[in-house]
A and B are shown apart, each in its own frame.
Chain A
């Protein structure tokens, strides 16, 4: 065995792989949330739908997205393998256990499994449909001078070979864009309270998983310092366990409430 495989197959090395892939997925969540906040714009989904085109066509982003799929699978199955090893390290269980550690830290594998199922459901809802199903198209007409954007649904029979058709008329100052209407699909899915519930449960799993996970990744990499560890723990709790899950959960709730109010 080379030194690298030897190092990465040691107990510490195995944890380093969990740590690095986990931190990558944490940065992904930040980007994912930032991008999806565009769902809250009152522009008929123009920003969100053109962002979806950019994210699925810009080559560097495509490379990162494939890395992301791989890291999700790797993190999940490597984690389950470690959990299997850890259970084997205590073949006879205690009759009575009084835990002194946090609930999150003890249930990372269960939370992670919930998240894996959630990710499959989530990607089935949007990623799969966006790539494989004939979603309707929408045409945005914007007035370059006033910045006003008008959305018009394209007939259901309309298709185009490119992801985005973009026409600018300099004389009239009209900018026209035709893209797949993923925004409408998001709004449609979240009319169903069952999906709203599934997404909220998913975000609870994210919250508890990252409450332990983010700061634990730093400890695994050897980062434990009286000055900086409180900061890392603060980010773990306030940003990754509270702010980000609330930001994501606000989306299904927003669309559900919007639907209830009749638009």
Chain B
């Protein structure tokens, strides 16, 4: 399978489970093709580890086409590696040079405990969605087209926010491990469209409360999240979340 000529030194975080400490271990991988994806390079390494009867490196992956948000490697100090607007699975070895040393770590956040090696538990995101990131009333058939006019600009903003795949790169990139970019995208995609209006106020308040309860840090507007986001979610969403949350808190009739 490996038919290339790249020889690399990998330093990979190995950790048995959440209860024990981990450490970086060094692996030499040879004959890597520059057309391989970063995850395929890990597959090659894992095949070798299995044949040597060693424990393969655990890492998250699913669709391998950049839309599921499962892959989550912190590569050479950046989530999803050196490219922008790309997930780890869509990162190819041609982005590296022969002889490179590549350090691979899991997402680091207290709210994302390590399960094993490079796999972290991102259930905190699921709990934030469960707190309000949905539209709960589902009535009747779909509306006739253009029955409810939505300005193109609003629809585009909602769509751009909905591109968030919930991978957690924003949390990984943030020096405070803040989840604001994720939560803001999930609040924005509904706040901008008619379907999201009935629960709009409640949603912002409940999702922020859950985000805080999960132990994510506070946003300090460094902007690292938006730069590292593989789906290029904009910081405007965080400003919108601030408006949604503050506006809802002030306007709410719950004393």
Select one of B103, B176, B217, B221 contacting A96, CB under 8 A. Answer: B103
Contacts of B77 in A (CB 8 A): 94, 96-99
Contact flag A90-B211 (CB < 8 Å), given A95-B103, A98-B76: no
Near B by CB (< 8 A), chain A positions 147-175 give none
The reply to whether A99 and B224 contact each other, CB–CB distance below 8 Å, is yes
Q: How far is the CA of A102 from the CA of B223 in the complex (A)?
A: 8
Least distance between A190 CB and chain B CB atoms (Å)? 35
The reply to whether B105 and A100 contact each other, CB–CB distance below 8 Å, is no
0/1 interface trace, chain B 67-111, chain A, CB 8 Å (1 if under): 000000010111000000000000000000000000101001111
Q: Which of B30-38, B43-51, B136-144, B240-248 contacts A (4 or more CB under 8 A)?
A: B240-248
0/1 interface trace, chain A 100-121, chain B, CB 8 Å (1 if under): 1110011010000000000000
The reply to whether A105 and B211 contact each other, CB–CB distance below 8 Å, is no
Contacts of A222 in B (CB 8 A): 239-240, 242-243, 246-247
The reply to whether B224 and A11 contact each other, CB–CB distance below 8 Å, is no
Interface residues on B, range: 35 or more
The reply to whether B218 and A219 contact each other, CB–CB distance below 8 Å, is no
* CB-CB nearest 7 A-B residue pairs: A224-B239, A89-B217, A222-B243, A98-B77, A86-B176, A101-B222, A105-B222
B residues adjacent to A (C-beta < 8 A) = 11, 24, 74, 76-78, 103, 105, 108-111, 173, 175-178, 180, 208-209, 211-212, 215-224, 227-228, 235-236, 238-243, 245-247, 249-250, 252, 254-255
A residues adjacent to B (C-beta < 8 A) = 2-3, 6-7, 10-16, 82, 85-86, 88-102, 105-106, 108, 212, 216, 219-224
